[in-house]
Amino acid sequence: MLHRIMGRAGSGKTEYMLFKMKEAFKGGKNCLYIVPEQQSLSAEKRLSEYLGDCYNLGIEVLNFERLPNRIAREYGNLAVTCIDNGSRDILMSRVLESLSDKLCEYKGVSTNSDFVKSMISVINRFKAGGVSVEKLAEAAESEEVKANSRLYAKLKDISLIYAEYQQLFSADLFDPCDALTSLAAQLESQRFFKDYIVFIDGYYTFTEQ
């Protein structure tokens, strides 16, 4: 069951949530309190002030960045190598070099270091928004896009780059930008949340995942 608590800033949404969390905690329920990463410490401090230091016996503070790792510790799949920003640069440079003869719109800038970072940024935003290689390729072939030759050429190139880039990842090499997408699929069979009451606070928008 989903309950949405709505109101203007300062109207008491968090206070109400803390009250309901206290009720659940006192009733012996396990709770997850999911807040933005930058609010994690203040949330823990607030819970400590409100419930005492024993709150962490039944309430765990998480954010969407830590959630995949937390669930992996429960079910396994921690033994992977995650790439960092430097590794992304290397992988994207390798992709662009291999595709230089196949690109149309971006052929002239494919070896430019700024373009490498630009493509990484674009693909990271696609991943954050739940736009897969398949969805992008489908969008590139739509009639609306084909009607604009410049846009069509750009999306075809980006779709090709995205597909080639994504093929470099495997079960042993993982992109943290894929973490929530992988987790969303994983949770179809792994019922991590079934024994928890989950409270989500402080978010203004949500991605598809």
Average pLDDT per consecutive 10 residues, the chain (209 residues; last block may be shorter): 88 92 92 94 90 86 90 76 90 93 90 93 92 92 90 94 92 86 86 92 87
User: Model-level pTM?
Assistant: 0.77
What is residue 71's predicted lDDT score, i.e. its pLDDT? 87
What is residue 78's predicted lDDT score, i.e. its pLDDT? 67
3-state secondary structure of 103: coil
What is residue 43's predicted lDDT score, i.e. its pLDDT? 92
Considering only CA atoms, which of 104, 128, 106, 111 is closest in space to residue 178? 128
- Residue 25 burial (10 A CB sphere; 0-12, 13-18, 19+): buried
